[in-house]
Each structure stands twice: as C-alpha cells, then as structure tokens.
Structure 1
C-alpha cells in the first residue's frame, strides 16, 4: 500500500505492481472482498488512488525478480523508510539478468 501511496503523491500515474504475494493480487482483483479491520480505511484510500491511475497488478515468482527480492531483504535491515531515484548499486548486477532485462527501478512489494 505504501508504494501506491508514494506513487500517487509523486503523480506517477502509470503503475505496474509486481508481487510474489498471490493474496495481494487477489485483493486487487476482488476489491470488494473485506480486508482486515485495521487496514480497511487505508485500503479504501489505496483503491481510490489506483482508480485514478493506469494501474495493474501481476504475480511474479520471487525467483523471477531477484532485484525486488534484494531490495525487500535490504529493507528488512533498515530502521526507517528509504527510497531511491535511481536503482541502488547493490541490485545493478542482477538487473541485467532480470527476466525483463529492463534497466528501470520499480517499487516492489513482497
């Protein structure tokens, strides 16, 4: 949800969210299904945001997106939020071998 909120704040309106969580994909594909009570208000706000974007979500196996996996594992070591305007150096090697081979930075969920 945070990735979508950031994208919306930055006026990034073309978003492709790849996730290794089939539950996340299912939630976006069936947005009327109830979510956990503590997330309900934030979830409704995120749905509003995605309705104002060119947005879609797809499932990708963790093994197929090593860059996202590295970023997620790095995030577990941090005590605060961090973002990059360009891809961080620790993922550049795997980006060239990424399934899509695209040298772009993506906000990822895991």
Structure 2
C-alpha cells in the first residue's frame, strides 16, 4: 500500500529551495537562468509538453542526465489532440515510468510549466478526466522512489526537453534514445554542461 507520508515528505523537500530563490529574486528585473546538474548519485529528468493551440495536436519529450551532465536517455512522442496541461503532465508521467524501468531511485524532476508542477506539489484539483488520470499515475509512482525532488525552471533552463517535445510532433511512434542524443539537441547539451546562463526578464506589477 502506498504511504501518503512518503508523498508529503517528497513534496516538502521540493518546496524549500524554489521558495528561497523566489524571495531572493523578488525585486530583480533580470535573472540568470541555467541548467543545473544533479548531485552525485542522482539522475535528473527534464520534461516538457508541447501543444499547438489551447487544445490541439500535442507531444511530449524529456531527457535524463547525471551529475557529469552526461546524456543517459531521451524520449519523445506524439500524444494526439489534448490540452497543454495534459501534455505537461503526460511528459512527467512518461519520464517517471522510464525512471522505474531503468532502476533510478534518486531523481530530480524539473519542468518549465509552473501550473503543472503546482498541480503535483500543491495537490491542486484538475477538471479534465485525462489530466486526473495522469496525476493519479504520477502520484502512484513518486512514492516508489527512494528520493525525489520536483522543481520548476524557466524555459531557458529546460531547452533540451523543449526541443525533444517539439521533435515529438514529427514522430509516428514513440522514440527513445539511449546514451546517444539526437543531433538536434547536441548544442544545447554542450551549453548546459558548461553552465551557460541565459537572462530572463521578469516584469512585476507595482
């Protein structure tokens, strides 16, 4: 039987670091964003969903890297017509299924849709039955992991997953890359490994 305390413990750890970062940057217009490596012994999943329009043809993508920023596995697939929220959740759900298949137990999950991340972290209700199905699957898998962290990152720190999600639109069937990434994301992986910063401009209402 799944333990609710395991889910809560995972979510409490998730909320700590992003909250401090937000407070630190609250009054800054420009902030540097870069992809961050996981700790030794951890695997990091960056995931993303892509949807053409509010509800249109959708696809998902994601990739796993280790503490050396080495590419371990990537995935992309078209998932038919749905909403952007379902696409984001489906990308996370598929990534978590691959986590189990590959036996990774210490996993950092990161996506660029804050609303979708908040659905999991804050246990927000979703109206769509398909979104509910994705959330249920995610909540079943996360407690099975020894350690997990889920965070939001700006799109500039999630470019490789964003590109894979875009590639997913072209797929006739699901695709998985093991150890050797597609050529389209090689330059992004190289920049991420260097820790290259991109500047994000935030606009605040006063």
TM-score normalised to structure 2 length: 0.43
Of 85, 104, 125, 1:34 maps to 125
Residue deviations 1:2-39, cap 9 Å, x none?
111221233222221211111121012123x3233234
User: Which sections of structure 2, spanning at least 5 residues, go unmatched?
Assistant: 1-92, 196-206
- CA drift of 1:88 comes to 2.3
Q: Helix, strand or coil: the match of 1:79?
A: coil
Runs of 5+ consecutive residues of structure 1 not aligned to the other structure: 103-110
Aligned length: 100
**C-alpha separation in 2, matches of 1:101 and 1:47:** 34
Q: By how many angstroms is 1:43 displaced? A: 2.2
In the alignment, what sits opposite 1:84?
Answer: 177
Counterparts in 2 of 1:101 and 1:50: CA distance versus 1, 3 Å: farther
Look up the SS of the partner of 1:97 in the other structure.
helix
Change in 2 beyond 3 A, CA 1:21/1:29 = same
Shift of 1:42: 4.1
Question: Which position in structure 1 is the counterpart of 2:155?
Answer: 62
Q: CA RMSD in A?
A: 2.0
Higher normalized strand content (fraction of residues): 2
Contact 2:107 2:148 in 1 (8 A): yes
